[in-house]
């Protein structure tokens, strides 16, 4: 299963924020488990930032609240002020039930804080894909 988007999305500083449209749903039958192998790629840039600013990423199942691995809460997806394409892979085995995977970002404005103009980040031309294994 896969989704793509070519329209840009801008993120403000602070807090985990959903990437609109970057959701994938998959039910796992009772009495079984499935390995979810997820890939995400996108153009990414930090706008008006300093060298200590960066965009973090995570993939979360919004039904169970479980985050796919690797996850330490601080995985940086991009930090450059110029557009570049970045990619990551995540995995997790899920048990029975419905699972709704969501890509989330967290823009960090490290000190000294740049506030005029405000720091934002842009995600553009993305692909979100999950392959399910038994």
Q: Is the pLDDT of residue 84 over 80?
A: yes
Quick one: pLDDT at residue 90? Answer: 98
**What pLDDT band is residue 111 in, cutting at 50, 70 and 90?**
confident
Distance between CA 123 and CA 105 in Å, rounded? 10
Matching residue, tokens 């993939």: 59
| 36-53: pLDDT as tens digits | 999 999 999 999 988 899
Beta carbons of 86 and 130 less than 8 angstroms apart: no
Among 15-29, 80-94, 109-123, the least confident range: 109-123
**What pLDDT band is residue 116 in, cutting at 50, 70 and 90?**
confident
């Amino acid at each position: 299963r896969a989704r793509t988007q070519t329209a840009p999305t801008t993120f403000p500083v602070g807090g985990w924020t959903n990437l609109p449209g970057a959701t994938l749903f998959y039910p796992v039958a009772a009495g079984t488990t499935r390995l979810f192998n997820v890939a995400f790629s996108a153009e990414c840039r930090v706008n008006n930032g300093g060298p200590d600013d960066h965009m973090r990423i995570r993939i979360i199942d919004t039904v169970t609240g479980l985050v796919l691995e690797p996850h330490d809460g601080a995985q940086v997806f991009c930090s450059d002020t110029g557009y570049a394409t970045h990619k990551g892979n995540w995995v997790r085995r899920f048990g029975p039930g419905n699972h709704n995977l969501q890509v989330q970002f967290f823009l960090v404005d490290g000190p000294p804080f740049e506030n005029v103009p405000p720091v934002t980040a842009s995600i553009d031309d993305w692909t979100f894909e999950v392959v399910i294994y038994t």
